[in-house]
Amino acid sequence: CFYWIFSGKIADRLSKGIRAAPTDALLADLSPGDARSKAFSLCQSLATFGGVLGSSVTAAMLFRGVSYETIFLLAAVPSALAIFVLFTAVKQPELSSEAGESSTNGAASSSSKKSSGGFGEVLKNAASLPWQFYFSALIVSTLYIARFSESFVILRAKSLGWETAALPLLLTSNQILQGLFTYPMGMLADNLGRKQILTVGFLVLLAANAVFIFVNHPVGAVIGFLIVGLHMSMTQANTKALLTEYINPTQRGTAFAMFAVFSGFALSFGNTLAGILNDKYAGIGCFYGGAAATTAATILLLIYFSVVGNKQQKA
C-alpha cells in the first residue's frame, strides 16, 4: 500500500512539473502586458480558494466516514473538467516573434515558434533567452530559498504552545488571506508598478521572519503566518509577471520551464539549509536563514530595477 501511495505522489508531482510551465506560458499569451500581474493574480486567487474549498469538502467527507478511495476518485473530477474546458473553450492566440516584448532581445526576435528539435534545440532556445530574464529568475530563485516548507512554521507554532489539532487553522487562515489579497495586489502592481509592490512584498517577508524569531508567544505564530500570506499575495503572481517582461512571446514556454528548474533547485537548497539551521539554532535558525535570503533577493531586485527599469508592456 505504501508503494502505491508513494508512486501516486511521484506521479502527482510529475504532472505538476509537466503542466506548470505551459500553464504559465498560456496565461501570459492570453493576457496583455499592462494587465499581466492582474491575470496571474486572478489565477492565483482562484487556485488558492479552490484549495481551501477542496480541503473543506475533504474534511467534511472524512467526518462522514467516506473512504479514501472514494475521495481520491472524486478528486479526479475537477481535473477532468479542467481538461474538457481547456480543449473546448480555450484558444491559444497567434503569436508574433516581433520584439514588442523584448526590445533588447535581437536573437530571440528573429525566429518564430517551431517544433522541437530535441534536447539540443531546448538548449539553443534557453541560450537565446535575454539576460534580463535570467536576472529576474536569479532574484525570484533567491527569494524561493527563503520560502522553505511551511512545516518549519508548524514546528515553530508547536514550540510556542499550539495544539496539533489547531494547526490546520493556521494553514487555512493563511490561504484565505492569500485568496482575498492576491488579486488586489495584482491590480496595484499593474497600476502603480511592479517595483513598488514587489519591494514591499519582499520587506514583508523580512518582517514575518522577525516575528517568528522574536515573538515568543502563541499569537506570534498567527501574526507571522498571516504576514507570510500577505507576502505571498504581493509576490507569488507578480514575480511571474516580472519574468515575462523581456521574453519574446514564442519563448515563454522555454522561459517558464527554465525557471521551474531554477526554482526547484532553490526550494530544495532552501529546505535543506532551513533544516540544518533549525537543528543548530533551537527551532528558529531557519528564519534567520530566510531573512538573509530575503535580504539578498531584495538587494538584487533593487539592482534589477535600477539597471533594467520598470517595463510593463502593452502586448
**pLDDT tens digit string along 49-83?**
998 888 888 888 888 888 888 998 998 899 899 99
**pLDDT tens digit string along 257-315?**
999 999 999 999 999 999 999 999 888 999 999 999 999 999 999 999 999 876 554 44
C-alpha cell at 234: 504581493
Length of the chain: 315
**pLDDT tens digit string along 203-260?**
999 999 999 999 999 999 999 999 999 999 999 999 999 999 888 888 888 899 999 9
From residue 243, how far is each of 12, 14, 36, 63, 135 by CA, in Å?
Answer: 25, 23, 11, 43, 9
Q: What is the pLDDT of residue 14?
A: 82
Q: What is the pLDDT of residue 309?
A: 72
Q: What is the pLDDT of residue 109?
A: 41
Q: What is the pLDDT of residue 312?
A: 53
Q: What is the pLDDT of residue 262?
A: 94
DSSP state, residue 25: H
Model confidence at 198: pLDDT above 90:
yes
Q: What is the pLDDT of residue 258?
A: 92
**pLDDT tens digit string along 87-145?**
998 887 776 654 344 444 444 443 444 445 566 777 888 889 999 999 999 999 999 99
Q: What is the pLDDT of residue 101?
A: 44
Q: What is the pLDDT of residue 99?
A: 39
**pLDDT tens digit string along 138-185?**
999 999 999 998 889 999 999 999 888 788 888 888 889 999 999 999
Q: What is the pLDDT of residue 186?
A: 92
Q: Among 293, 303, 184, which Cα is nearest to 234's?
A: 184
Q: What is the pLDDT of residue 270?
A: 96
**pLDDT tens digit string along 5-51?**
778 878 887 887 788 888 888 888 888 777 888 889 999 899 889 98
Tell me phi and psi for residue 148, to 5 degrees.
-70, 175
Q: Please tell me the distance from the alpha carbon of residue 199 to that of residue 299, in angstroms, as a whole number.
A: 9
Q: What is the pLDDT of residue 91?
A: 83
Q: Among 32, 156, 29, which Cα is nearest to 93's?
A: 29
Q: What is the pLDDT of residue 118?
A: 64
Q: Are 263 and 144 in contact (CB under 8 A)?
A: yes
